[in-house]
Structures are given as structure tokens and as C-alpha cells.
Amino acid sequence: MSLKRKDLLSLATLSLDEIALILETADSFKEVTGREIKKVPALRGKTVVNLFFEPSTRTRTSFELAAKRLSADVINFSPSSSSVVKGETLLDTARNIEAMQADIIVLRHSSAGAAETLARGVKSSVINAGDGWHEHPTQALLDLYTIRGRGMGFRGLRVAIVGDVAHSRVARSNIYALTKLGAEVRLVGPPTMMPCGVEKLGVKVYSDMDKGLCGVNVIMMLRLQLERQGRALFPTIREYARLYGLTAERVKLADTGAIVMHPGPINRGVEIAPDVADSLSSVILDQVANGVAVRMGILYLMSEAG
């Protein structure tokens, strides 16, 4: 089995079968990452380019590790916005990389749609590693993998996504994935952080966190972009933390056995209390570990598809 697509751009366009295939493939690579010698030759002779226009540590590292464990050659290319000559298009940059026979380009970009634009213009496979506020499909897939790894089924699963949904690609990818899989998705946050018309995507919106968390199986916290303070989205970090910070008290409102997730990096004491981040219900580090296995699976499937 392989993916019948050149690129992995979004969860919105991924079918249930494709999601299932990616999660199953990740299983076999999860086993590899547990070995003493964590390397297989699946992508030997292939070149993976991490093209990161936005600073990122964990996603880039995760992709790099995943590619290296598959024996691919990995190049990290991080043009800072200042060094990209004004007027040079993303496509020009990518075509240069393609000319060096890159098989897979992993793109992180601050503009929504950048991955789709790139994918249309190059023959290499493109994996979207986050485009603006649009999608972050590999993050959502590793989130799904983590939920599944806890023995939870998706149908009827109650998931609360808490925080700045409007500016979150992680939230969008998870909304598309989870609603597709039959989960009940709740969005929790101040109305200033809810994107226009989001209810039409089949989610419920709560501005009261306590109500939103009531009886959920999964609490997915989003990182608060601290630099957004002063742009009238929320008055102070203090008030935000009081209204939408996840405390041990609030975790109790959720279903017993509920898990706490966070795409990282976390703001301790802002959206998540330190004791919650470190608690047994927290699967934040599992997410990171699973990220490598899921990305290995994706890279493998993409190279097969190509």
C-alpha cells in the first residue's frame, strides 16, 4: 500500500483511508525508534530538504531525525526572511532546490497556501510542515497517533481544543482530522480568538473553559503567542491565564482518564500550569516521540508514492 498522492498538504484533503494508512505505517516505524540501532535503509539514496522559512526547532529536528533514521540524505535550508531577495518568489527558491534533485521538500512557511503553491510548481514531493494559520498536517497526524496510542477510538471521542484557534494551523488540521473521524470537537477560547464562521466546520464553540472541558476525553492546549498581547485579542497574559489556563482543578472537569496534549513549546504558567504539564495525564512528550515515528511513516509513504 502507498499513498496515491505526490504531496501531503492538508488534513482537509486527506481521506479516512489515507489517515489510517499513515497511522498504521507509523506503527512499524515506532518499533524501529525503539531499537538500539534506530535506522533502516528505506530512503537510502533519497534526498530530503527541510525548507524552513520560519524558525522552528522541534518540527525541523523531528523531520531531520525521521529522514536520517530512514537513511535519507538531509539538507536543512533555512533562508531567513532578510536573505531572501525581495522579489524572488518561493517558487524560484524551490526550483533551485529541485534542480539539486531533491526527492522530498518539507516546507515551513509563514504564508497560508505556500505549500500548495509550491507543490503545483515543482515535481518533488512536498510535505507541509506548517503554512501560516492554515494547516500543520504532520502535527495533527502525530496527535491522532498519540490519541490512538492511548487506546482511544475516535468516533464519539470528545476533544476540546483550547486557545487561539484563529491563528493556529495546529487547530485547523486537528479540526479537519477529528471531525472527519467522527469525534466531537469543541473549541474553547475568547471570541477574539475564534475564526469567523468556524461552527460551520462542525465544531462547538465555548467561551467558558469550564463548560468546554466538561466530560471531554482529550484536552488539546494551544500555545499562546505572547507577542499577540497588545493587539486587542486579550487584555493581559494574567487574565488569559486565569480564564483559559489549564489547571489541575480544570482537568478534573474532564472525563476520568482524559489526556492533556500540547503541540509545544509550552508556556508554563500561561496556558498550562506546570503541575499539569508534568502530570500523568500529560502526553506532551509522547507527542514529541511519536512525531518522529509518524514523520518516518509519512516520508516513507511519500517516497513510495513518488
Partner 1 sequence: MPILIKGGKVVDPGRFVGVGDVLIDQGKVVAVGPNIQAPAGSTTIEAKDRLVLPGFVDLHVHFREPGFEYKETIQSGSAAAVAGGFTTVCCMPNTNPVNDNQAVTEFILERARLAGLANVWPVGAITKGSEGKELAEIGDLRRSGCVAISDDGKPVMNSLVMRRAMEYALAFDLTVVDHCEDLHLAEGGCMNEGLVSTELGLPGIPSAAEDVMVARNLSLSELTGARLHLAHISTAGSVRMVREAKARGIKVTAEACPHHFILTEEVVRGYNTHAKMNPPLRTWDDVRAIKEGLRDGTIDVIATDHAPHATQEKQQDFTEAPFGIVGLETALSLTLGLVEEGVISLEQAVEKLTSGPAAAFGLKKGTLAVGADADVTIVDQQAEWVVDPGKFRSKSRNTPFVGWKVKGRVLTTIVGGRVVFEAGPLES
Residues making contact with partner 1 (CB under 8 A): 12, 87, 89-91, 109-114, 116-117, 131-135, 169, 172, 195-198, 200-201
**Based on CB atoms, which residue is closest to partner 1, 79 or 132?**
132
Give the residue with the Cβ less far from partner 1, 25 or 138. 138
In whole angstroms, the minimum distance from the beta carbon of 193 to partner 1 comes to 12
Measured distance CA(224)–CA(192) in Å, rounded: 13
Nearer to partner 1 by Cβ, of 69 and 109: the residue is 109
* Pairing relationship of beta strands 125-131 and 104-109 according to DSSP bridges: parallel
Closest distance between partner 1 and the C-beta of residue 178, in Å?
A: 15
Closest distance of CB 87 from partner 1, Å: 7
Nearer to partner 1, 175 or 241 (CB): 175
Task: Give the cell for residue 305.
Answer: 508514492
Order of strands across the sheet that contains 158-162 = 204-206, 184-188, 158-162, 218-221, 259-261
Whichever of 94 and 277 has its CB closer to partner 1, that residue is 94
Closest to 49 measured CA to CA, from 29, 21, 22, 79: 79
Q: Rounded to the nearest whole angstrom, what is the least distance from the CB of residue 295 to partner 1 in the complex?
A: 21
Angstrom distance (rounded) from CA 188 to CA 205 = 6
Question: Which region, left, alpha or beta, applies to residue 47 given φ > 0 means left and ψ of -120 to 50 means alpha?
Answer: beta
CB of 189 to partner 1, least distance (A): 14
Q: What is each CA distance from 183 to 32, 139, 142, 172, 246, in whole angstroms?
A: 30, 17, 16, 14, 21
Q: Given the complex with partner 1, which of 98 and 131 has the nearer CB atom?
A: 131
Biggest CA-to-CA distance, the chain:
55
Q: Give the shortest CB-91-to-partner 1 separation in angstroms.
A: 6
